[in-house]
Amino acid sequence: MLTEPLELVRKLKSMLARYKELYSRNEVAVREQIVSPLLSVFGWDTEDPKCVIPEYPVVKGRSRMKIDYALLKRRAVLAVVEVKALGKVSEGLGSAEKKARAVNARYIIVTDGDTWQIYEISKGAIKLMSEWSLLREEPRNVVKKAQVVISIKSSGKTRGGSRRSSRKSLEA
């Protein structure tokens, strides 16, 4: 098992290049083989439901949605991760924002495995915090930029009411 971020980024870059066709049509493969290992190496225990919940259910009014990954802090949804098939990252922000607002999450991560976009929701506005590409950038630069994923976890700051919202979503 790989534990070093730089080693993992190099491996994922190679996988994305080698299996580009698969990842461009299979979102689940992107989630399982690219996103989950990267979240893990940056401190999000994808095997601990107190930390990460895949397919997190959200109910808002009559609308039912699922968050690809909910990153939790103190049982509240701190970040929403929206995963798209390779080449379709631009399709993810709209639905991710809707889901994040439904659970009062503070951060949004949108990725297609290659391109990663990290946003912060502050005072109703969405601000791009960081963006990188596994395929187009040097692995060392990716690791530096991806440190924001660690800082999200260590910030521990949730938006008001998110604990209640996340519990309500789980019970739905």
Residues 53, 79: contact at Cβ < 8 Å? no
Instruction: Please tell me the class of the 5-171 domain.
Output: alpha beta
83 - beta bridge partners?
111
Rounded Cα–Cα distance for residues 23 and 95 (Å): 20
Q: Where are the domains of the chain?
A: 5-171
- pLDDT per residue of the chain (172 residues) written in tens, 0 to 9: 445 999 999 999 999 999 999 999 999 999 999 999 999 998 899 999 999 999 999 988 888 999 999 999 988 999 999 999 999 999 999 999 999 999 999 999 999 999 999 999 988 899 999 999 999 999 999 999 988 887 787 775 555 443 333 334 443 3
The dihedral formed by the CA atoms of 15, 19, 23 and 24, expressed in degrees to the nearest 10: 130
The structure's pTM equals: 0.86
CB within 8 A of 39, min separation 6: which ones?
Answer: 46, 52, 69, 71, 81, 149
